[in-house]
Amino acid sequence: MTKTILIVDDETDIRLALGILLKKEGYAVLAAPGGKAALNLLQKKAVDLIIIDFFMPGMNGSQVLTEIRNNKKLKATKVILLTVATFGKQGEKKLKDLKVTAYIQKPFDNKALLAKIKKLLT
């Protein structure tokens, strides 16, 4: 069965590039330009994995993740945090508490990202 991945990133180029990459690999792709749009989308569509950027205007990645983990229907969803950010001890603890499934540093390597996604979705 086709797995669905939601990309949440305010950068259009990243959403497009990631979308093309993931579709080529046979995944169904949804995209949202921000946290609120993503949460609205998740109310209507079920997804297998969410890829979230950390730095976004409005809600950042950690805030979106908090909402996801507080939602009964969504809380078990696997999440990859895609980020340029380097976190301190406090941030690492918070993300651990929020059960981030994996981190990918921007700029990311396509092969490494696909390998991580494949591992998470099999």
Partner 1 sequence: MTFALNSEIGKKDIVIAIIPSANHKRKALEIAKYLSQRFKRICYVNLTQPLPSLLGEMEKNNVACAKFLFVDAITKKNPKKNQSNCIYVNSPKALTDLSITISKSLETKAFNAVLFDSFSTLLVYNSPQTVIRFAHDLFGKFRAAGILTIITADEGTDKSVLGDVSMFADVTIRVKKGGSP
Tokens of 68: 């996801």
122 contacts: CB under 8 Å, gap ≥ 6: none
Residue 19, Cβ density class (10 Å: 0-12 exposed, 13-18 middle, ≥19 buried): middle
Instruction: Decide: is 88 part of the binding site for partner 1 (CB under 8 A).
Output: yes
Instruction: Decide: is 89 part of the binding site for partner 1 (CB under 8 A).
Output: yes
Residues 61-80 that bind partner 1 (CB under 8 A): 62
State the minimum distance, in angstroms, from the CB of residue 103 to partner 1: 13
Contact pick of 36, 94, 99, 106 for partner 1 (by CB under 8 A)? 94
Instruction: Decide: is 55 part of the binding site for partner 1 (CB under 8 A).
Output: yes
Contact pick of 30, 85, 104, 120 for partner 1 (by CB under 8 A)? 85
Q: Cβ distance 36 to 13 under 8 Å?
A: no
Q: Cβ distance 107 to 35 under 8 Å?
A: no
User: Can you give the binding site for partner 1, defined by CB under 8 A?
Assistant: 55, 57, 60, 62, 85-91, 94-95
